[in-house]
Structure 1
Amino acid sequence: MFPWFAVGHMTPYLHLANELAERGFKITFLLPNKAQQQLQLFNRHPDSITFHSLTIPSVEGLPPGAETASDIPLDKTYYLSVAMDRTRDQVDKVINATNPILVIYDLAHWVPEITKPLGIKTICHNVLSAASIAIVLVPARNVSKERPITEAELANPPTGYPSSTLILRGHESRSLLFVSHPFGEGITFYERISTALKQCDAISIRTCREFEGNLCDYIGSQYDKPVFLTGPVLPETDQTPLEDRWAKWLAGFEPGSVVFCAFGSQYTLNKKQFQELCLGFESTGLPFLVALKPPTGAPTVEEAFPEGFEERVKGRGVVWGGWVQQVSILNHPSVGCFVNHCGFGSMWESLMSDCQIVLVPHLGDQILNTRLLADELKVGVEVEREESGWFSKEDLCKSIKSVMDKDSEVGCLVKKNHTKWREFLGNPGFMSGYIDKFVQNIQELVK
């Protein structure tokens, strides 16, 4: 297994590795050294899953010591993709030494060039939603370096796209213009992903047919490849206890009263938007725990707080600039609402939680995931934003209160729908059934 060097890719790959190891597979998992240290705790089958550290080469423009997307701002991701491509010789040696029956990868589009001469099969496994792939990364878009995609094109679905609701609205398409930007030496993001999808023996997606079946079929027809689905691939339980610091703090509040906010390991707000968010939480009158990276230009979250904010919310609200145990916090009985960016991992975790869902998407795939939850499934609400992407403290507060007020019609509706889907996803055998089918697909592929 060789995922992109980002927590949001490596973690779901490891969840899948755990499931495969449980069913008898032996797995060599390629990842940066620092990531190995972070993920070691989540390796449930260390006898079957061997972590193999890759040395991340120095690249001009990549900060010294940076090994994963969490270590860098978004505008430096190009340099990390260059570094990943320069590990090719290391990856080649591992594949030749281990001689696997299968290699599972995502952004390393060159993996099939190594495996095909050796007769080794490959699966391009995607941890993004099918909607994200289908709306922009299919051959019907006909994008190239010579013909970059435009905002107007992105606002319109590609030929044959099967959904009328999972689309981008006007200005939102700007967030996906990056697919025409360089993502490695001499290659754009679109070319990288489409090549990875074209050259593999099968495509797999971390989704389920009940949510995105028509989109998966569309992707398969576009690439003329079998598409295997793994389901959400979430651990049944979070086996690590919640840190005392948060367990004690959360225990001081009524069940279901605390609002928890997290926007993932990569995205960084600017200082003005960060301060507006803080004031939005303050104005709800509810207890809150916000876990965000310090905003752009601020070394710590505390240095970016609005004037007097810390004193006014003391005892009721905490804004934390470090990592937290997201799943454990979501499962705490005091937490009743999850404000998140709707990254695909957070999307599944919010669906499996008992919390009300408020969505503040930042990037293209997150916007499409939000469409799925807010518009199609109606299990959460999206915070209104201006065309520039700015959201106000009033709109943030309004969205949170709309799901947290007991007499709210919107809150009752999304809670009812959320409960239905959570129970469906939590049915005994639902997730394991997808993995069992995926294993069957693998066995047929490598015959």
Structure 2
Amino acid sequence: MDQAKSSNFHIVMFPWFAVGHMTPFLHLSNKLAEKGHTITFLLPKKTQNQLQHFNLYPDLITFHPLTIPHVEGLPIGAETASDVPISLTHLLIIALDRTRDQVEAVIKATRPKIVFNDSAHWLSQITRPLGIKTMHYSVVCAAALAIAVVPARSFDKDKPPTEAELAVPPKGYPSSTVVLHRHEARGLSFIAMPYGEGINFFERITTCMSESDALAIRTCRELEGELCDYIASQYNKQLLLTGPVLPEQAKTALEERWAKWLGQFPPRSVVFCAFGSQHILEKDQFQELLLGFELTGLPFFIALKPPTGASTVEEAFPDGFEERIKGRGVVWGGWVQQVLILDHPSVGCFVNHCGFGSLWESLMNNCQIVLVPHLADQILNTRLMAGDLKVAVEVEREENGWFSKESLCKAIKSVMDKDSEVGTMIQKNHSKSKETLVNPGFLSGYIDKFVQDLQELVI
């Protein structure tokens, strides 16, 4: 016991100001606190209440709120990525950079052994003179890091990469299925766009990784082993894997209204759709999505934010839609208990954007998986799921990058029809992957190994 106590140390967590980043950083903090480590968790003031219920060890994990300075062009009071459209994210990262003095004060006051971060490219300038280690912790998949970040180092910062350059996987990239189409390559062009004052996205991330003492990724070797080895070789650094770092199963019950509504349908017959907390569809995209679900003839539960220009989901419904789907469809514009809905026996398909959190939630339940990615890392997550692992299907897109109601309907029916060969193959592969993930000791084994490697790194 004394030896175990002596190996415990203090850690500072400093994630990017997005719920999809802060939440997995906090899940990892819980795992580290469970081993006896103490953590100071840096986050915007307004997110304390939002994340507090995820803090399972408040005696060991201390939230330290940062005052987020206003940057001209941002909405007043904006502190997280959920507060701004994607087009203004480059201004929010400036706000993060301007918390540097606050971050430095915390580090000097707490003297941690190591600081975890994913976007502060200047962090090592603070930690290195103090003899403190830094860890770049990525909560996106290794596929996204490997294709969207590593090759970007070869591009001229004053000359953004062309679509043709972005569409070609980097030399030595170990996945043959990650091929970007024209409209997807165009979506990746953001890596050469300004992302802070005097720095672009790939310069920021590659500097973070290059200047860190070690790298860590929220993934496992069973899914992305070759990709992880590729990244480690590109940066010539030790790379630690945390595994999925899934949160504890919720002890609360599904809201009665949703449990009652879902309970009226046969097992595995309902299609559930959610695209995360940040993405907001254009009205025409929103309507096309709804019409695609209507076209399937299946019962469905859609949880999406109102589209651009609408204050509620109802005011954006296609003409006659509400009457036509009455009794078999729900479109909800508020928050829902996603994990509990996926666990309901009536839900048989999960249509999602393939953010990395939804990726793991997809793999850990029994639903068929249909993917509609929007952003670059989601596209690459989708290639991993639908291409390499073959545990999901991706909705086919038009040349403009969006999809039709017919292509959405086709993808859903391909996995939900009982006699579908595609659906049978996807379900078989999915079951095999899930069996690995839920195997006793699998998740805890990754954390145990991660903590051991972390101790060797800092002691």
TM-score bin (small chain) = over 0.9
- Preserved CA contact (<8 Å) 1:205 1:229: yes
Q: Do residues 387 (structure 1) and 399 (structure 2) align?
A: yes
1:285 offset after TM fit, Å?
Answer: 1.4
**Distance (whole Å) between structure 1 residues aligned to residue 84 and residue 326 of structure 2:** 31
Which SS does the other structure have where 1:260 is aligned? Answer: strand
Which SS does the other structure have where 1:79 is aligned? Answer: helix
Alignment of 1:37-436 (within 5 A): 37-138=49-150, 141-436=153-448
- Preserved CA contact (<8 Å) 1:330 1:355: yes
1:75 offset after TM fit, Å?
Answer: 0.6
How has the CA–CA distance of structure 1 residues 336 and 215 changed in structure 2, closer, same or farther, with 3 Å as cutoff?
Answer: same
**Distance (whole Å) between structure 2 residues aligned to residue 249 and residue 70 of structure 1:** 29
Report Cα offsets for 1:122-146 as digits up to 9, x if no partner: 1000011111111121167412421
Residue 237 of structure 1 aligns with an amino acid whose one-letter code is Q
Query: Which residues of structure 2 form unaligned runs of 5+?
Result: 1-12
**Distance (whole Å) between structure 2 residues aligned to residue 105 and residue 140 of structure 1:** 20
**Distance (whole Å) between structure 1 residues aligned to residue 324 and residue 152 of structure 2:** 54
Residue 333 of structure 2 aligns with an amino acid whose one-letter code is G
Which SS does the other structure have where 2:331 is aligned? Answer: strand
Which SS does the other structure have where 2:137 is aligned? Answer: strand
Residue 414 of structure 1 aligns with an amino acid whose one-letter code is I
**Distance (whole Å) between structure 1 residues aligned to residue 336 and residue 109 of structure 2:** 38
**Distance (whole Å) between structure 1 residues aligned to residue 252 and residue 196 of structure 2:** 37
Number of residue pairs matched by the alignment:
447
Query: Which residues of structure 1 form unaligned runs of 5+?
Result: none
1:376 offset after TM fit, Å?
Answer: 1.4
**Distance (whole Å) between structure 2 residues aligned to residue 51 and residue 167 of structure 1:** 41
1:248 offset after TM fit, Å?
Answer: 2.4
Which SS does the other structure have where 2:27 is aligned? Answer: helix
Residue 316 of structure 2 aligns with an amino acid whose one-letter code is A
How has the CA–CA distance of structure 1 residues 241 and 112 changed in structure 2, closer, same or farther, with 3 Å as cutoff?
Answer: farther
Q: TM-score, normalised by structure 1?
A: 0.97
**Distance (whole Å) between structure 1 residues aligned to residue 151 and residue 289 of structure 2:** 39
Residue 426 of structure 1 aligns with an amino acid whose one-letter code is V
Say which of 18, 35, 43 aligns to 1:23.
Answer: 35
Which SS does the other structure have where 1:113 is aligned? Answer: helix
Q: 279-288 or 242-251: which moved more?
A: 242-251
- Preserved CA contact (<8 Å) 2:300 2:328: yes
Report Cα offsets for 1:1-53 as digits up to 9, x if no partner: 01101111111111111111111111111111221111111111111111111
**Distance (whole Å) between structure 1 residues aligned to residue 126 and residue 156 of structure 2:** 24
Aligned twin of 2:7: none
How has the CA–CA distance of structure 1 residues 28 and 144 changed in structure 2, closer, same or farther, with 3 Å as cutoff?
Answer: farther
Which SS does the other structure have where 1:42 is aligned? Answer: coil
Q: Do residues 444 (structure 1) and 456 (structure 2) align?
A: yes
**Distance (whole Å) between structure 2 residues aligned to residue 283 and residue 159 of structure 1:** 43
**Distance (whole Å) between structure 2 residues aligned to residue 140 and residue 90 of structure 1:** 31
Runs of 4+ off more than 4 Å: none
- Preserved CA contact (<8 Å) 2:175 2:388: no
- Preserved CA contact (<8 Å) 1:68 1:80: yes
Residue 390 of structure 1 aligns with an amino acid whose one-letter code is W
1:317 offset after TM fit, Å?
Answer: 0.9
Q: 191-200 or 315-324: which moved more?
A: 315-324
RMSD: 1.3
How has the CA–CA distance of structure 1 residues 140 and 186 changed in structure 2, closer, same or farther, with 3 Å as cutoff?
Answer: closer
Q: TM-score, normalised by structure 2?
A: 0.95
